[in-house]
Structure 1
Amino acid sequence: MRVLFLMFAIMPIIEIALLVQVGGIIGGWNTIALVILTALIGSYMVRREGLATLQTAQSKMQRNEIPGNEIVQGLMLVIAGVLLVTPGFVTDILGLLFVMPGSRHYLARNISKHMKARVVTSSTFTSGQSPFSQHSDPFKGPAKDENGDIIEGEYTDKSENDENNRLR
C-alpha cells in the first residue's frame, strides 16, 4: 500500500522534472512531439504484441492447456498501454520494458513463479489438510459411497417429533 502511494506521489514529480529538463535541452515543442511519438509507437506495439499473445492463448486453449503465462503477459500489456499513453519518459521506459517480447517473457515467467509460490503457500491450512481433499471441496458434488453410487434422499428427524408429542 505504501509503495503505491509513493509511486503516485513521487512519479509525477519525477516525470515533470524530467520533462522540464528535456524541454530545456531540445525545446518545448520537440519534447511534446517526442512524448506523442512514444505514445503512438507504444500503442502500435501493444496492439501487435497483444494480438500475438491472444493467438498463443487461443491455441493453448484449443490444446486443452491453461494459458497462464499468456494471461500474465496480457495483463502486462494492459499496464504497458497505460504507461505508454501517460505523458513522461520514465513511464515510457517502463511501458517499453513491458512491451518488448524479451523483457516481457522474462518478467512474466518470474511473476508466474512468484504467483504460483504465493498460491501454494497461502492455500495451506493449519490442520495440515490438503485444500483439494474430498472433505474440503464444496464443489465436489453429492456424496458417494465406496461403490461410487450417489447417496441422495430426504429424511425427517423423528426424535424431535416424538419429544414434541410427549410434551403436549
Structure 2
Amino acid sequence: MRIFLLLFLIFPLAELYVLIKVGSAIGALATILLLMLGGIAGVLLMRLAGFATAWRARERLARGELPEREMLQGMLMAIGGGLLFLPGFISDALALVILFPPTRKLLFGALTRRIEARAQRQRAFHEDMQARSGPQRPNVIEGEWERRDRDQ
C-alpha cells in the first residue's frame, strides 16, 4: 500500500520539480517539444512492441509451445512505452532503463524468478492444505447388503 502512496503522491511532485528545473534551464518551448517527442516515441514503441510480441507469440503457439517469455518481454516493453508516454523526465529515464536490452534482460530474469517463487509458494500452500485435510476419498457410503430374490 505504501508503494501506491509513493507513486500517486511523491512521483508526480518529483516529476513537476524536474520539469520546472529543465524548463528554466532550456526554456519552456524546448521542454514542451521534448515531452511531446517522448510521448510520440512511447506510443510508437507500444504499437511496435505489441505487434512484435503478438507475432512471436503466434509463432510459438504454432509450434505448440507456450509463449510465456514473449508475453513477459512484451509486458516490459509496454511498461517502458507507457512510461515514455507519461509527461516527465523521470518517467522517461525509467523507460529508457527498462527499454535498454541489457537492463531489460536483468529485469526479465528477476521477474521470472519472482513469478517462479510465487508459484512454488502457492503450490506448497495447496499441498500443505491437502495434507492437513487428509487423503481425499470419494463419496462412498459403506454398508451391508443382502440379495433377496422374489422366488424364494
The equivalent residue for 1:46 is 46
**Is this contact kept in 2: 1:53–1:74, CA < 8 A?**
yes
Alignment CA distance shift 1:91-1:46 (3 Å): same
Q: Identity of aligned pairs, percent?
A: 33
Structure 1: runs of 5 or more not aligned: 137-156, 160-168
Does 2:27 correspond to 1:27? yes
Summarize the Cα distance change of 1:55–1:112 in structure 2 as closer, same or farther, 3 Å threshold: same
- 2:77 matched residue in structure 1: 77
Name the residue aligned to 1:13. Answer: 13
Matched-pair contact (CA < 8 Å) for 1:19–1:89: yes
Cα 1:55–1:102 change in 2 (3 A) is farther
Q: For 1:101-120, what aligned pairs fall within 5 Å after superposition?
A: 101-120=101-120
Tell me which residue corresponds to 1:141. none
Per the alignment, residue 57 of structure 2 pairs with 57
Q: What residue identity is the alignment partner of 2:119?
A: V
Q: Structure 1: how far apart are the matches of 2:13 and 2:19? A: 10
Deviations 1:118-167 (A, max 9, x none): 11112213764779xxx77xxxxxxxxxxxxxxxxxxxx9x9xxxxxxxx
Q: TM (normalized to structure 1)?
A: 0.69
8 Å CA contact 2:83–2:94 kept in 1: the answer is yes
Structure 2 portions without partners, runs of 5+: 144-152
CA shift for structure 1 position 93 = 1.4
Q: Output the aligned Cα RMSD.
A: 2.6
Pick 1 or 2: higher relative contact order, CA cutoff 8 A, min separation 6. 2
What one-letter code is carried by the residue in structure 2 that aligns with 1:78?
A
Question: Structure 2: how far apart are the matches of 1:74 and 1:127?
Answer: 32
Kept after mapping to 1: 8 A contact 2:46/2:82: no
The structure carrying a bigger helix percent of its residues is: 2
Distance of 2:20 and 2:124 partners within structure 1: 51
Letter in 2 for 1:30: A
Displacement of 1:37 after TM fit?
A: 0.8
SS in 1 for 2:87: coil
Report the Cα offset of residue 7 of structure 1. Answer: 1.7
Query: Do 2:49 and 2:78's aligned partners in 1 also have CA atoms closer than 8 Å?
Result: no
Kindly provide the amino acid, as one letter, of the partner of residue 41 in structure 1: A
TM-score of the superposition, structure 2-length normalised?
0.76
SS of residue in 2 equivalent to 1:66? coil
Q: What per-residue deviation string (whole Å, max 9, x for no partner) do you get for residues 69-98 of structure 1?
A: 211122223322321111000111112233
